[in-house]
Amino acid sequence: MAAREDMNRHGIGMTSQRTRERLLERLFEEGIRNLHVLETMRRTPRHLFVDEALSHRAYEDTALPIGHNQTLSQPYIVARMTELLLGGGPLDKVLEVGTGSGYQTAVLAQVVERVFTVERIYPLQERAKETLKAIDVRNVVFRHSDGNWGWPQYGPYDAILVTAAPAEVPVELLNQLADGGRMVIPVGQHEQFLTLVIREGDAFIRQQVEPVNFVPLLAGAIRS
Ligand code: SAH
């Protein structure tokens, strides 16, 4: 009874609990093997990051609109990017560019020490802040600005995750990556590839992981 009340309080009934389990099975079938990531996605309430009218679709493995012409990434992509970022071991400071709904931020914040997240659209950032507070994720700091410039004040970062696609990896982000650090970023205009960049001193080793389809990384911050 207590568990059921708890689930209702979070606006989710038994049916969606089953849908959530199915999503986890699907992520595993698609090749996600990091148990920490899978477990985190199991307990992160994705339905709270979309409009109520869309919440019944929150545990499908699809991208969903979040307003302002932006989308919340498909769960598989969130899992894959987080897994790639963690590939080198535990992470302390992580920079995220493109907070959006805050769902990827929430997953990330539960598997690393601290997240510094940057978003250019102010209302999206405000909403993400509220949602993260509601689910008690506290190790995140937010900045409203153009993420092409990173967040130099707290760098260098052990890892950088970018959730919008530039034509080329922004130089400032490379500069703010610590030695040995990892960046996961979709790169390309017409054809995009999820790319893993590992810094070794002054060298940046790149690996194209798989084709993806992200919204573009745009320039400048906007208020509304
Ligand atoms: N990770 C998000 C989805 C992001 S969609 C989620 O889980 O919901 C991409 C996001 O990147 C959008 O919110 C968009 O406004 C933001 N974005 C695009 N260009 C940006 C830039 N230059 N700086 C910061 N954020 C940017």
Question: Model confidence over 4-58: pLDDT tens digits?
Answer: 445 444 555 555 778 889 999 999 999 999 999 999 999 999 999 999 999 989 9
pLDDT score at 16: 72
124-167 pLDDT, tens digit per residue, is: 999 999 999 999 999 999 999 999 999 999 999 999 999 999 99
Tell me what pLDDT residue 13 has.
53
Binding site membership of 124 for ligand 1 (Cβ less than 6 Å): yes
Q: How far apart are the C-alpha atoms of 15 and 81, rounded to whole Å?
A: 28
On average, the pLDDT of the chain sits at: 93
Average pLDDT over residues 114-122: 98
Q: What local confidence, expressed as pLDDT, does residue 8 receive?
A: 47
Which atom of ligand 1 sits closest to the CA of residue 128?
A: 8
Whether the per-residue pLDDT at 104 is higher than 90: the answer is yes
pLDDT of 58 reads 94
* CATH of range 62-212; options 3.40.50.300, 3.40.50.150, 3.40.470.10, 3.30.420.40: 3.40.50.150
For the cut 50, the answer to whether the pLDDT of residue 1 exceeds it is no
Residue 103 Cβ < 6 Å to ligand 1: yes
- Report the separation in Å between the CA atom of 183 and the middle of ligand 1, taken as the mean of its atom positions: 16
Task: Write down the pLDDT at residue 11.
Answer: 53
Q: Which of 100, 82, 99 is nearest to 91 (CA)?
A: 82
pLDDT for the residue 17 = 79
Rounded CA separation 159/71 (Å): 23
Per-residue pLDDT at 4: 45
54 CB-contact burial (10 Å; exposed 0-12 / middle 13-18 / buried 19+): middle
| Residue 156: count of CB within 10 angstroms of its CB | 16
- Ligand 1 centroid, distance to 120 Cα (angstroms): 7
Cis peptide bond prior to 156, omega within 30° of 0: yes
pLDDT given for residue 224 in this prediction: 87
What's the confidence (pLDDT) of residue 15? 54
Closest ligand 1 atom to Cα of 124: 13
Report the nearest-CA residue for atom 2 of ligand 1. 100
Placement of tokens 């993806």 in the chain:
212
Which residue minimizes the CA distance to atom 16 of ligand 1?
98
Tens digit of each residue's pLDDT (9 = 90 or more) over 59-72: 999 999 999 999 99
Atom of ligand 1 nearest to the CA of 220: 22
Taking 70 as the threshold, does the pLDDT of residue 208 lie above it?
yes
Q: What is the DSSP string of 60-88?
A: SSS-EEEETTEEEPPHHHHHHHHHHHHTT
Among 70, 173, 192, residue to substitute to test ligand 1 (most atoms within 8 Å of Cβ): 70
